[in-house]
Amino acid sequence: MHTDRERCVRAVRSKDARFDGWFFTAVLTTRIYCRPSCPVVPPKTENMTFYPSAAACQQAGFRACKRCRPDTSPGSPEWNQRADLVARAMRLIADGVVDRDGVPGLAARLGYSTRQVERQLLAELGAGPLALARAQRAQTARLLIETTTLPMAEIAFAAGFSSIRTFNDTVREVFALSPSELRARLPKKNAPAATPGALTLRLPFRTPLNPDNLFGHLAATAVPGVEEWRDGAYRRTLRLPYGHGIVSLTPEPDHIACRLTLGDLRDLTVAISRCRRMLDLDADPVAIDDQLRTDPLLAPLVDKAPGRRVPRTVDEAEFAVRAVLGQQVSTAAARTHAARLVSAHGDPVDDPEGGLTHVFPTPEALAAVDPESLAMPRTRRTTFTTLVGQLADGTIHLGPESDWPETRARLLALPGFGPWTVDVIAMRALGDPDAFLPTDLGIRRAAKELGLPSTPAALTARAAAWRPWRAYAVQYLWATDNHPINFLPV
């Protein structure tokens, strides 16, 4: 979008928050870059230039605005609605792969050469993987400076910097303030808490956001010991690269309140990225809803409760296993099956603030389970053991780098995997915004009530007009039912 100068200027002049994260405005006279909705008086048009990423702004010598804090913008919705190389690379960078494995590790995960990855990122985002990862480290550093009492040396390494000097130089260059000056600017009442390992932060999103089906679905399908709804918040355990964590997420009118307890602060960036993906916070609800409103039968549903998101997951392999456990059984039965596996094979965690007890088992741990101990029909046992075996040995990858068509094909080749199972994994684990469930009982019931075609083939043909947002249409159709997944727990 940053190449459409006229459109960008209109967004800046109208202070349209919907475009935050889509592009950044750099001011040539002040050498500052802002989000489109920055509250200050817009600069003259001839003094504006536009960049596709914060990293590109920083690389061009601009520093972040202290007023609108562009580093806290929601992410671009492009990276979660596309499956090309650039989108997959951006999802991996957000997951901390460059910090852990370097650019060669990023390229290896994508199956491309380092040169190809760098060339495509530079062409579309104006910055290579190292610059993009550096911008992310700066954002993480600022978050730790402002929300913890950690010494600066610990913050530097937790944010992914290789040295304290690099940390100091980067923070000063990006924010025009030293780390100590950033912390000193905090009002006394906002002084960071001293709880070891605990962080409280705000996760921004584009409005509107309807929390009912989003949190309702996560709470209604919660696996005991791994997830719970407590005091108005969805809580769950996290398996992260350097250790385990616990997150508490509370819906607020203009943000999601997030409380993270981490065993290792180096996991902060990854934890935030995965929580944002689970809650679909980088979506553009206005564009999605406008497309779905073009169908006169869907329009009333959208108008009644706009801004529905797709409830996703923090662990793709975990969700795939749970999808198999939920085949042809009730939500309660699926939770029971999963809870047994968790208590027997999950890693224990300590949760003094609630009732969480375990992290969901790894595919390697589940691959070692005796099939005869599984309380399910023999054919589903075969489906389960085949899936966890291929996840464990790397035959099937369900991470952020997944190629959606290729992964679908691999899943369909597994015994016991039909279109419903593959599409629900594509929708909620892989993040495909166009995944559709025409054979789902709830979808067919809603279609019949609304006057839509109820047979899978006819409904799929009608749903072509909803593309590329059919996964969101699924949420609106499901919401017509009086099922607990559609309501916030009381």
Q: Any idea which residues carry the catalytic annotation? A: 34, 440
CA distance 273 to 15: 26
User: Locate tokens 């699924």: which residue?
Assistant: 474
Calculate the CA dihedral of residues 238, 409, 104, 244 and round it to 10 degrees.
10
Q: What are the φ/ψ torsions at residue 249 (nearest 5 degrees)?
A: -125, 120
Q: Contact, 416 vs 383, CB < 8 A?
A: yes
Q: Which residues contact 272 (CB under 8 A, 6 or more apart)?
A: 201, 203, 258, 260
Overall residue count recorded for the chain in this entry = 490
Torsion 416-418-422-427 (CA) sign:
negative
CA distance 175 to 64: 5
Q: What is the DSSP code (8-state) at residue 20?
A: B
Q: Residue 415 burial (CB < 10 Å; 0-12/13-18/19+)?
A: exposed
Q: What is the DSSP code (8-state) at residue 18?
A: G
Q: Residue 426 burial (CB < 10 Å; 0-12/13-18/19+)?
A: buried
CA distance 137 to 171: 9
Cα–chain center distance at 141: 20
Cα distances from 349 to residues 301, 352, 419, in angstroms, run 41, 10, 36
Q: Contact, 398 vs 407, CB < 8 A?
A: yes
Torsion 60-6-53-26 (CA) sign:
positive
CA distance 369 to 389: 10
Pairing of strands 32-34, 227-230: unpaired
CA distance 47 to 142: 28
Which one, of 55, 54, 1, 64, lies nearest residue 32 by Cα?
A: 64
Which two structure tokens, joined as six digits, stand for 418?
């039909």
Q: Which residues contact 133 (CB under 8 A, 6 or more apart)?
A: 93, 98, 99, 160
Which two structure tokens, joined as six digits, stand for 431?
């993040």
Pairing of strands 24-27, 48-51: antiparallel
